[in-house]
Structure 1
Amino acid sequence: MSETRVDGPDARTAHQDLHSEVGALRGEHPGRSRNPVIKVTDLAWLEFEKPDLDRAEVFARDFGFGVAARTERELWLRGTFAGSPCMVIRRGRTSRFIGPAFRAAERADLDRLARATGADVREADVPGGGRAVDLLDPSGFPVRVVHCGERLPALPEQQPLLLNFGTGPRRTNATQRPPREPSRIQRLGHVVLETRVFGRALNWYLDTLGMIVSDFLFLDGQRDRGPTMAFIRCDLGSVPSDHHTLAMHLGPGTGYVHSAYQVTDLDSIAAGGEYLKERGYQRSWGIGRHIQGSQLFDYWRDPDRFMLEHFADGDLFSSDVQPGWAPMSTSGLAQWGPPATRDFLGANPSPQRIRDVIEALRGDNEMDAARLLGLLKATRS
């Protein structure tokens, strides 16, 4: 396969000293749609079901969420930033992830989306009210696109510590004593999903919601078959947006991998992690700094085994930055930090995982033996 790069100055220069050493090859996926239906502006919130809302609220407060609203059947969680809630947990028979809700730029975008998809615009059951269009992505995840009528007000922040660097000290005659308290969540950052129909799902989010790819990952020796993971951001034009609002990767299962929530700084991550550890919660992986997105990270499991991430200092890209391409590997997940754990990688065998593999290899999807072996190799590289 030729290593000739895509023509054009942007494609040649977008990666040099930026986010990836290598850009697309001629004819590879462009990472964006020519004519999307709408362009969403951000994640609004994530939707879950759990049988025990009291237990869910205890963890949420320990992790650093505020409570926006609580009823017998719903728990709405928020960050300190003004805007919509981060998460809703509804009472259900089992613990499960339902799907993401994305924010439309304008109310008229909901009408445009409804006409294009044959869906209806309905009232959104969110504190403060709003309107929503309910869709189903190719993986089977319910996806909501919402326009909220009322924004939650901002709450007090954890203030970043004043740091001394080199010959330019900013703090004198004062000590650093960050309190041992929950990391105060500022906002929802991104969600990561696993899918057996990666290519179809990727194109749906680009064509329908107008999202664009920041980075592609591919399996060693299988680049000619296309990418197997994408870090996808919102297209806000010249306004920089998070390196990824949604990330998806090919896998034998279909489901939630983790979600990430921004906090103030590294001290907030570390002190909040100590607070969680003292209360008996399980750290999945951290603390470290990612490569794709550059975030400082720390991953935890909630009592229902869902993985949540504290992060700070993530990359922001404007729409003119083209996708980077890199091989998929465990060593490529972090610039520094402890080795990625088997728990984080989902490498611990379980009956459900074995069933997922068997069903994927028998089903009509993008998984086959070569892809499966490539994914296994990536977890060990």
Structure 2
Amino acid sequence: MSETRVHRADVKTAHQDLHSERGALRGEHPGRSRNPLIKVVDLAWLEFEKPDLDRAEVFARDFGFQIAARTDRELWLRGTFAGSPCMVIRRGRTSRFIGPAFHAPERADLDRLARATGTCVRDTDVPGGGAAVDLLDPSGFPVRVVDCDRALSALPEQRPLLLNSGTDHRRTNATQRPPREPSRIQRLGHVVLETRLFARALDWYLDTLGMIVSDFLFLDGRRDRGPTMAFIRCDRGSVPADHHTLAMHLGPGTGYVHSAYQVTDLDSIAAGGEYLAERGYRRSWGIGRHIQGSQLFDYWRDPDRLMLEHFADGDLFSCDVEPGWAPMSTSGLAQWGPPATRDFLGAGPSPQRIRDVIEALRGDNEMDLTRLLGLLKAANS
């Protein structure tokens, strides 16, 4: 057996042992496209609308963002890493998620994408300039693919604490006193979306943007009907990428679930969380460590009840790692930490949720009563 084949086998086995009961069965979704139009390399930023930019800026600073640019109509937020901003908030009548923007490897990919989709390349308003192609995914989310002209320079970091572990004494004659201050966001990590058109949306992201699946989840006892959630990463070849840049799950609604932002380490998550709690913000769930992706996590609600996550220490996979498969369950969300809250799960019977269920069961989509009952069972398992 060649060295390459041994390496691929080792990678696959390690992934299955850590993240799923087993890999794909014969005939199941391969988790990647044979011939995608392009291969995006990362999330660029997320786009939102909010009626009160001043209030949005106060929360942004408390959560750990830096301000990249501000006008009467727009607020661009960034992390400490060099690159593009990670969020733009535009003034609007309501607080809502608009859609994601992804980085193309080079400008020629925008031309290829525009020709294939019947769209055009246009200038974008990102600080530093750049070009974009505007698309619409099957769920109805506007999706931008961008190439930025000039990267923002790096900013000072929160340095990770030096830890003593067992007999490895890296810190002597010095104390640990992490300040209670905002977690300093380094970068945008991922966004999670809910859709009634899961299979169609999944294939669109794989075929159009060249993304690949790290893990599939399925409803217990209903694996034959295919996956109902996917953790999707960028295909950078041999260069490791985040376990997921985009995650999607089937549900009665169509919309934003949460977005995640990397910070330095566990102390940054914890001290930053204390800072947020002291200022009256609401924790949704945390602190804990995920299973799919392995991230340390802490989830918070902003003043408009949109959910954002601090995370650290996430998995990185090269293109060799094949998708894992596991049953969907609430207990399978974390290796350790407090039980997932009803708030995090969106399990409250709100009027909007009831309307979503009624519309989903009546509409032309991938939801039916069996799947709805299976999702409810997963939320309580």
The TM-score normalised by the length of structure 2 is: 0.97
In structure 2, the residue matched to 1:217 is 217
In structure 1, the residue matched to 2:29 is 29
In structure 2, the residue matched to 1:120 is 120
Identity %: 89
In structure 2, the residue matched to 1:354 is 354
How many angstroms does 1:79 deviate by? 0.1
Looking at structure 2, the residues matched to 264 and 120 of structure 1 have their Cα atoms a distance apart, in angstroms, of 39
Q: Deviations over 1:44-82 (max 9, x none)?
A: 000000000000000000000000000000000000000
In structure 2, the residue matched to 1:266 is 266
Change (3 A) 1:160 1:333: same
Q: Deviations over 1:281-337 (max 9, x none)?
A: 000000000000000000000000000000000000000100000000000000000
Alignment of 1:1-381 (within 5 A): 9=9, 13=13, 15-381=15-381
Looking at structure 2, the residues matched to 259 and 188 of structure 1 have their Cα atoms a distance apart, in angstroms, of 8
Amino acid at match of 2:313: D
How many angstroms does 1:9 deviate by? 4.9
Q: Is the 8 A contact 2:290 2:335 kept in 1?
A: yes
Structure 1 portions without partners, runs of 5+: 1-7
Judge which range, 18-27 or 101-110, deviates more. 18-27
Report the secondary structure of 1:272's partner residue: helix
Looking at structure 2, the residues matched to 323 and 83 of structure 1 have their Cα atoms a distance apart, in angstroms, of 29
Looking at structure 2, the residues matched to 43 and 278 of structure 1 have their Cα atoms a distance apart, in angstroms, of 31
Q: Deviations over 1:235-291 (max 9, x none)?
A: 000000000000000000000000000000000000000000000000000000000
User: 4+ residue stretches of structure 1 with deviation over 4 A?
Assistant: 8-12
Looking at structure 2, the residues matched to 313 and 369 of structure 1 have their Cα atoms a distance apart, in angstroms, of 38
Looking at structure 1, the residues matched to 16 and 352 of structure 2 have their Cα atoms a distance apart, in angstroms, of 42
Amino acid at match of 1:145: V
Report the secondary structure of 1:13's partner residue: helix
The TM-score normalised by the length of structure 1 is: 0.97
Looking at structure 2, the residues matched to 174 and 220 of structure 1 have their Cα atoms a distance apart, in angstroms, of 51
Amino acid at match of 1:257: V
How many angstroms does 1:349 deviate by? 1.1
How many angstroms does 1:19 deviate by? 3.0
Report the secondary structure of 1:204's partner residue: helix
Q: Is the 8 A contact 1:180 1:274 kept in 2?
A: yes
Q: Is the 8 A contact 2:298 2:310 kept in 1?
A: yes
How many angstroms does 1:168 deviate by? 1.5
Report the secondary structure of 1:110's partner residue: helix
Looking at structure 1, the residues matched to 48 and 65 of structure 2 have their Cα atoms a distance apart, in angstroms, of 15
Change (3 A) 1:176 1:92: same
Report the secondary structure of 1:297's partner residue: strand
Count of residues paired in the alignment: 374
Q: Is the 8 A contact 2:12 2:321 kept in 1?
A: no
Q: Deviations over 1:203-262 (max 9, x none)?
A: 000000000000000001110000000000000000000000000000000000000000
Report the secondary structure of 1:166's partner residue: coil
Structure 2 portions without partners, runs of 5+: 1-7
Looking at structure 2, the residues matched to 375 and 209 of structure 1 have their Cα atoms a distance apart, in angstroms, of 28
How many angstroms does 1:362 deviate by? 0.0
Amino acid at match of 1:148: C
Q: Is the 8 A contact 1:14 1:322 kept in 2?
A: no
Change (3 A) 1:11 1:228: farther
Report the secondary structure of 2:19's partner residue: coil
How many angstroms does 1:16 deviate by? 4.4
Report the secondary structure of 2:17's partner residue: coil
How many angstroms does 1:15 deviate by? 3.4
How many angstroms does 1:137 deviate by? 0.1
How many angstroms does 1:375 deviate by? 0.2
In structure 1, the residue matched to 2:3 is none
In structure 2, the residue matched to 1:3 is none
Instruction: Give the aligned CA root-mean-square deviation in angstroms.
Output: 1.1
Looking at structure 2, the residues matched to 12 and 253 of structure 1 have their Cα atoms a distance apart, in angstroms, of 34
How many angstroms does 1:20 deviate by? 2.5
